[in-house]
A and B are shown apart, each in its own frame.
Chain A
Amino acid sequence: MAENYSQQYRGKVSHVYLGEGKAESLNPEVKKADTLYNKHMQELFDIVAPEAAAERIDAVNTQGDIAVKTAEVLRGKSTAWQQYKEHKNIKQFINDLDTEWRGRELPHKLERFLLFSVMGGFYSGLDFATDFVADTTFLRKDVGRLGVGKLTLVSLDDTDSNGNRKALKAGWEMLSDKLISMFSDKSVKEATNRDDVEFVSPISDALASVGNVIASIATPSEKRGVARFLNAVINPGTIEAGFRSIAAIPVVGAKVENMYIALNKQLLKGEGVLPYGFEVALSMLAAKESQKKNVELIKEHVG
């Protein structure tokens, strides 16, 4: 019976589960097969692993190639002219060329042009009004002196032989320009609710300073209308508004804007020929004015 009992299991049972712990195979061939199989799996892994790594590198490089090809296409299509050759739309070409030259999309060009033109006109009107006030009050020809009571601070004569009238006018012009500049800056601060912004840029300030001196020297004193017009227009607010309204013109304005930015950068950094140029110009103009005065005095003395 025991023999029959064992016969039914002979050759069928290869190992017995002994509960917890690893079951040991009783068949040495199977144990050997497991070992060979593990060795075979290791060999397969040694074949596959480097290839998988190489494939990753290849995929990354290929994706990089695609990115470069895309960039080349975009670069080639980046110019307005290239795009115009495809769409043949003049209006779009002008807009694209303007954006390309400006380096940014500038919206509402017409509105900007009108706004800054109006602002420039307003500041000119303000300057004209201040000049008019001065010309009709303390700079009138019949005013012989400026002072308090019997104390004379500045003596004036109708021929301006001592140059005080001209100096007073120049000083008043500078003061009114400064006030207009402060007014425009304050307006921008209020409109934008920011304290770190201003309207008048350094280039407009500098051009106004030099321009006023040139205008006062170059304009004959009898051409009062011309002098008044030039003085009204040459102020920081109007010059700045002029720059900005011209800069709002498509295409042409882009180059003006680029020049405006470049000039301001030079002045802000104190680099380049521009700051030096303005200093020289102002010095020379002051010297010329002084020389002219000396010549007039010499003529008087000799004559």
Chain B
Amino acid sequence: MKHDISDFIHAVSHSKLLNREQKRELLEHPEALPELYRMELAIVLHKYDERARMREDEVRNRMEEATKRFVKDLDRHNIPDDVKSELLEKSHKHVASLARQAATS
């Protein structure tokens, strides 16, 4: 029972699907929820988080590939280094935020 509750608590508190208010509600009295319900909810939330993580990794990989192609294009067209570094810095910032948004928009 204790392991079950801790798994449920972990799943809810780290869930990418639930907002803060929902987490607070579910974690208020977890022992009052039926055991089967806790288990199934934890499974659902784990699976969603897993899929979100995979999506995030996939998107990040593809965007890094796109960034490498961008760097090659910049080199091929002899773009000055200062301009190149400025553009790459902007691109990296975009890639990071877009990857997060794609995972849990």
Contact = CB atoms under 8 A, between A and B. Distances in A.
Interface residues of A, number: 28
Nearest to B80: A29
A29 B59 contact: no
A256 B69 CA distance: 80
**From DSSP, what is the main secondary structure of chain A's interface residues?**
helix
Contacts, number: 92
Contact of B103 (A33, A44, A47, A55): A55
Interface in B52-105: 52, 55, 58-59, 62-63, 66-67, 69-70, 73-74, 77-80, 83-84, 87, 90-91, 94-95, 98-99, 101-105
Most buried by A among B79, B91, B95: B79
Nearest to B43: A69
A24 interface: no
B89 to A, nearest CB: 11
B4 interface: no
Interface string A28-64: 0110110011011101100110011011101100110
B17 A36 contact: no
A62 B44 contact: yes
Contacts of A62: 17, 44, 47-48
A66 interface: yes
Q: How large is the interface on B (under 10, 10 to 19, 20 to 34, 35 or more residues)?
A: 35 or more
Contact of A29 (B67, B78, B95): B78
A65 interface: yes
A65 B46 CA distance: 13
A191 interface: no
A73 interface: yes
Contacts of A39: 73
Contacts of A77: 34
A47 B84 contact: no
Contact of A55 (B37, B40, B73, B102): B102
B51 interface: yes
Contacts of B62: 47
Given A41-B94, A47-B63, A73 B87 contact: no
Given A33-B83, A37-B91, A63-B17, A44 B98 contact: yes
A52 B101 contact: yes
Nearest to B34: A73
Nearest to A30: B83
Given A40-B73, A58-B51, A59-B104, 6 more contacts: A36-B79, A55-B103, A55-B104, A65-B44, A69-B37, A73-B34
Interface of B: 17, 34, 36-37, 40-41, 44, 47-48, 51-52, 55, 58-59, 62-63, 66-67, 69-70, 73-74, 77-80, 83-84, 87, 90-91, 94-95, 98-99, 101-105
Interface of A: 29-30, 32-33, 36-37, 39-41, 43-44, 47-48, 51-52, 54-56, 58-59, 62-63, 65-66, 69-70, 73, 77
